[in-house]
Amino acid sequence: MDNIAGTKSSLTWAVHISVVALVLLWLFPTAGLFVSSFRTADQISASGWWKSLTTSEQNLTLRAGAPANQVQDGALYVIEGNLFDEAEAPQAKIGTWGISARELGAFQPGDTAELRNGSKVTVQENGDYRQTSEEEFSGRRGSRIFVNAELPPDFTLENYEQVLLSGNSQDSMAKAFFNTLTVTIPATIIPIVIAAFAAYALAWMDFPGRALLVAFVVALLVVPLQLALIPLLKLHLGIGIGKGYLGTWMAHTGFGLPLAIYLLRNYMVGLPRDIIENARVDGATDFQIFTKIILPLSFPALASFAIFQFLWTWNDLLVAKVFLIDASGQTTVMTNQIVELLGTRGGNWEILATAAFVSISVPLVVFFAMQKYLVRGLLAGSVK
């Protein structure tokens, strides 16, 4: 359609390249978090995450074996081994090496250097070394050798272990994960049931004041929930619910209802009138029409709202902070846990990135699995 003769090819290329650039730009931030969650603290502070995907050059300080390991070979005393094994570091390829911190790259692999104590050391590319001396080695520790090594990409699951399994209450996301789940599921299901009945009444039942009620729902759609915080907290404290799950479920239900009713009503109004009228003629009651015909037919709209409400309650911080989290901290949710980690462990990116990724992984799975319904819901909710 847009292809005007002659301009097609160059423009198409420009479009493809721009889209690639746009997608990369949008993915880059999340990718950074994802990659960082698989790196150790040292790796994260040593280089940007984008460098971790390729082999990286790193300066390492390693040690030859301790004098205790020496063997006598004729007139020479010899210490042999592999520098990386000695340090229990991952294997790497040595580019250059040196024997003092001031001359890091003085020698190539295979060269022989003379140390200050008179011994000679040869280091191979793979880290094998041979240190020889005419006199017996003394002291407790081996000689230091500075290598510049090419490290292959190296990733670890340690952070996830620390965040999910360690049981360290400060870092642990395990409990917060279950708390979030506990908040989310009832807060998603209950408004659907309540809203479905109301939406049916607003869509298919005739009664005075119906138009007014629809307007009421549309108006409440935009009321900022910030307004509700204090009055409802007062109410909850007043009737004895206090801070806790029950109050949070009720609050999420109340805040989710306008969108639920609005989406479901719009969908139900569009269902074919014939089916419903035929059922009425056949003697079905409204209750039967609703449960046997309307509900099954409305599945796409129900799914749309369920995803909205799930994402919203899972990602919520404000409602949880006001209605759920008390001084004991037993009922913390993941978003709150992450905010606290930002305060207490602001520099520990390995913990932060992993915690954040744990919390966004579930919405991401839901998002990619149910995207069709999400898009449908967005379109039904906005394009009017």
* Site residues (CB under 8 A) for other proteins, limited to 272-291: 285-287, 290
Which lies closer to other proteins via its Cβ, residue 93 or residue 175?
Answer: 175
What sign does the CA torsion over 350, 356, 359, 361 have? negative
**Enclosing H/E stretch for 256:** helix 245-269
The yes or no reply on residue 241 touching other proteins (CB under 8 A) is no
Distance of CA 350 to the CA centre of its chain: 12
- Binding residues for other proteins, total number by CB under 8 A: 119
The yes or no reply on residue 47 touching other proteins (CB under 8 A) is yes
In angstroms, what is the minimal distance from the CB of 297 to other proteins? 17
In angstroms, what is the minimal distance from the CB of 224 to other proteins? 5
In angstroms, what is the minimal distance from the CB of 313 to other proteins? 11
The yes or no reply on residue 317 touching other proteins (CB under 8 A) is yes
Burial of 211 (0-12, 13-18, 19+ CB in 10 A): exposed
Which lies closer to other proteins via its Cβ, residue 231 or residue 240?
Answer: 231
Helices 174-204, 349-369: axis angle to 10 degrees equals: 30
Which lies closer to other proteins via its Cβ, residue 123 or residue 183?
Answer: 183
Which lies closer to other proteins via its Cβ, residue 32 or residue 95?
Answer: 32
CA distance 57 to 149: 6
The yes or no reply on residue 13 touching other proteins (CB under 8 A) is no
β pairing state of 112-114 and 120-123? antiparallel
Residues 232, 289, 302, 325: which binds other proteins (CB under 8 A)?
Answer: 232
The yes or no reply on residue 237 touching other proteins (CB under 8 A) is no
The yes or no reply on residue 328 touching other proteins (CB under 8 A) is no
CA distance 321 to 47: 36
**Enclosing H/E stretch for 97:** strand 93-98
CA distance 216 to 258: 9
The yes or no reply on residue 259 touching other proteins (CB under 8 A) is no
The yes or no reply on residue 194 touching other proteins (CB under 8 A) is yes
Residues 220, 284, 295, 303: which binds other proteins (CB under 8 A)?
Answer: 220
The yes or no reply on residue 338 touching other proteins (CB under 8 A) is yes
The yes or no reply on residue 157 touching other proteins (CB under 8 A) is no
Residue position matching structure tokens 């579930």: 362
Binding segment toward other proteins, per CB under 8 A, in 103-111, 113-121, 160-168, 345-353: 345-353
**113 three-state secondary structure:** strand
Burial of 93 (0-12, 13-18, 19+ CB in 10 A): middle
Q: What is the DSSP letter of 171?
A: T
Residues 62, 121, 201, 301: which binds other proteins (CB under 8 A)?
Answer: 201
